[in-house]
Structure 1
């Protein structure tokens, strides 16, 4: 004759509050694990960044060919020029993505040409690049005081025009690509015409100015 022991009682069902508490505990564990992994990854990236410490690219204004730089009696400036700039990535382990490339000219703080946009580019480690955009400004109205100053500079033969480069760049280390950084390059160019106003595009042939000047680079 067999004796069967009664099945153990499953016990009372957990209440809704207990179920919710267990779920919250599980969520907190998952969140803590995810946060810990993220902080670990961030620390690794920061350490790698500090070890490599990328250097800003260096820019050089090589030359400018001026086809027109004419100031009218109404303080309107017409500009046509082609500028050549070189850029070098001095980093031995880091490449640079130029997501945007925009060039324009400024005189005494006033923009005098429309932005010239070039296609995105990539610059590998220790590589150099050369860009030669055309800059155009059609009868750009100048502020009265700037027009007077430009007229005086043209007579003296030493107008200084700043060639500006704006870009959004990203650093590339192996397969890792950083977020975007704003690049601003300022290249001052003194177009010395020897005191001849017509010497800068005043109806004569184009004039090429050789510079090879280092530009100021801010990232």
Structure 2
């Protein structure tokens, strides 16, 4: 039996050249001073340099203090408006139920008992004035209290003064008041000359002012103290002693003050 023919593979020159592992280069692939090496980019191998960063802290939103102030202001304004509305309703009820009316005053007559110039050029004057007071209210009474003050003026100069008595004026009543007003004016020579000029024309302007503290009575309730402010403008024919003065015209206005 013949020996089997052994076949030994013969490597091709090209195949042998490929299979032979390449020799390592003895010279560096990258020049000196370069940051790259044969193992790759050093930035991918080494950790990045430490950087100092500022820690982030979230800021809290500012508190809205203005909103609290606005709420307080709105509540206060609403409360004030509510009080005003309630007071308005009460005033309307009182007005329609009680129907208040303003008192009326008029000067009926005036008599001069003294009006002469003294040796020291002072003018002494005494007037007797009759005043009518009317209360037209059906449910309101008027208490005239102590502390009233009346005065008669001529061109900014006070001639005489006095006061009202204390009394109570009931519903729908008329009261006649006879008052004596007295006073003295210093250095009245110029005043008398002005009076003589007006007396020749037959019209002397006088002004009566009154401040009267009163209390109103509604039913059985006595209300707070008020002050009546009365101003009466009138024109008289003369200011002669022991003479009844004729009042040519007069008009009175009244105001109120707490």
CA contact (8 A) 1:164 1:185 kept: yes
The equivalent position to 2:169 in structure 1, one of 109, 123, 140, is 123
1:68-217 matched pairs, under 5 angstroms: 68-70=114-116, 76-100=122-146, 101-114=148-161, 116-138=162-184, 140-141=185-186, 149-193=194-238, 200-201=240-241, 205-210=242-247, 213-217=250-254
CA contact (8 A) 1:64 1:84 kept: yes
Instruction: Give the 3-state SS of the residue equivalent to 2:183 in structure 1.
Output: strand
Structure 1 length as normaliser, TM-score?
0.64
Relative to structure 1, is the Cα distance of residues 117 and 175 closer, same or farther in structure 2, using a 3 angstrom cutoff? same
- The structural deviation recorded for 1:63 is 0.3
Relative to structure 1, is the Cα distance of residues 189 and 70 closer, same or farther in structure 2, using a 3 angstrom cutoff? farther
The equivalent position to 1:61 in structure 2, one of 85, 107, 115, is 107
Q: Which string of whole-angstrom CA distances, capped at 9 and with x for unpartnered residues, describes residues 72-107 of structure 1? A: 697632211100000101111111111134322111
2:255 matched to which residue of 1?
Answer: 218
Distance 2:165 2:206 in 1: 24
Distance 1:133 1:71 in 2: 23
Distance 2:150 2:142 in 1: 18
Unaligned runs of 5+ in 2: 1-85
Structure 2 length as normaliser, TM-score?
0.56
Instruction: Give the 3-state SS of the residue equivalent to 2:224 in structure 1.
Output: coil
Q: Which has the higher contact order (CA 8 A, sep 6+)?
A: 1
- Counting matched residue pairs gives 170
CA contact (8 A) 2:125 2:160 kept: yes
Unaligned runs of 5+ in 1: 1-40, 194-198
- The structural deviation recorded for 1:172 is 1.1
Distance 1:153 1:76 in 2: 20
Relative to structure 1, is the Cα distance of residues 95 and 45 closer, same or farther in structure 2, using a 3 angstrom cutoff? farther
